[in-house]
Amino acid sequence: MNPSSIDLTAFNTFGFAVSASQYVPVRSARELQNYFKAAPDAPCFVLGGGSNLVLTRDIDVTVLHMLAQGFAVYEESDSHVLVGVQAGHVWHDFVMSCLNNGWLGLENLALIPGSVGASPVQNIGAYGVEVKDCISKIKAWDRLHHKWAWLAAADCAFGYRDSVFKHQFLDDARTQPRYVISKVFFKLLKDPALWQAKIGYGDVAACVAQIAGDAVVTAQHIAQAIIQIRSSKLPDPQVLGNAGSFFKNPIVAAQVAQKLKAQYSTMPMYPQADGTVKIAAGWLIEQAGFKGLREGAVGVYDKQALVLVHYGQGSGLELMAFAQRICAKVFEQFGVQIAPEPIVY
């Protein structure tokens, strides 16, 4: 492979104009292995679809662009199927292929941008489902031991927008991830009799009812509803730069939640299994007066306060400064810390 410099504007959904001094497209597991065998200790930056990134500067290490495509069935029974998917496969395309093949479980995660390889990194989630629920195991290059590693789902420390892949690094500055994911294995349902529709979140049930009418609800109906809802609420990165929800919903102790509820009765809260309480960050940001606000080249989307947008000609630094002002105002008003979801480089 012959590394060469490249403009990354089209490779990050915020559309920030940064470049990489060295760029290596990775189109197979073999290419990934060969790269690391040849340069075992060289620093790198792993890029998927660039939909969860804020690039604040040029990248001065080799960008490994994960582009390997395809999936295959590895095991099959009457009830389940085990499918291995290459890291560079487009996530939404895989979800659609699942529906076409009658594989159930990922329908609520339709239309999330990005690659399959990045899906475990922040344990993508939407409309009451997280990808961890369908992941069986992961094949990744272990840059610590210079060999392939197999991680069972239980080894991945999946949490809310979190996993082991966000915590294991080779360097103190946490820029060099230990694992580079090459293939994700999903255990999906085949038998519709075992499948349960998950439509309890937000306006999914109403939208599904509208689409399905009197028919029995299927995974296709749910995916169609999710696509419809997402398209109406979230900006298309091709039109307006963004990385989806910019802030994670903060999680607070039950006592803190109680105090906040007494003060702000309409604050949306979601009790968690461990007794903590998740608060809707979008509500906090809206109440703090930021919804629809534009500052220079960046702003808060007018239809969804959780989404920060880039109108063009701005920078990742500008966006991060704006995000910090939002965090500070929310903290000042509510005493609650909110934190960005995307990876900042």
Q: Does 62 bind ligand FAD (CB under 6 A)?
A: no
Which one among 87, 149, 323, 338 touches ligand FAD, defined by CB under 6 A?
87
Applying CB under 6 A, which of residues 84, 105, 114, 340 lies at the interface with ligand FAD?
A: 114
Q: Of 35-43, 98-106, 235-243, 270-278, which segment contacts ligand FAD by CB under 6 A?
A: 235-243
Q: Is the separation of the CB atoms in 85 and 91 below 8 Å?
A: no
CA 125 to mean position of chain CA atoms? 7
Question: Of 121, 138, 204, 298, which lies in the binding site for ligand FAD, with binding defined by CB under 6 A?
Answer: 121
Residues with catalytic function: 161, 245, 341
Residue with Cβ nearer ligand FAD (116 or 326):
116
Under rule CB under 6 A, residue 55 binds ligand FAD: no
294: number of Cβ within 10 Å: 12
**Count of CB atoms within 10 A of residue 282's CB?**
21
Interaction of residue 50 with ligand FAD, rule CB under 6 A: yes
Query: Where does residue 292 fall: left (phi above 0), alpha (psi -120 to 50 degrees), or beta otherwise?
Result: left
Q: SS3 for 318? A: helix
- Residues 261-300, interacting with ligand FAD (CB under 6 A): none
- Count residues contacting ligand FAD (CB under 6 A)? 33
- 208 by Cβ neighbours in 10 Å (0-12 / 13-18 / 19+) ranks as buried
Closest to 185 in 3D by CA, of 126, 105, 243: 105
Identify the residue among 8, 20, 24, 47 touching ligand FAD (CB under 6 A): 47
Q: Where are the beta strands (DSSP E) in 27-100?
A: 44-47, 53-54, 59-66, 71-76, 80-86
φ, ψ of residue 69 to 5 degrees: the values are -110, 160
User: Which range touches ligand FAD (CB under 6 A), out of 15-23, 49-57, 75-83, 263-271?
Assistant: 49-57
The contact set with ligand FAD (CB under 6 A) reads 13, 46-53, 66, 87, 112-115, 117-119, 121-122, 124-126, 165, 177, 180-181, 234, 237, 242-244, 343
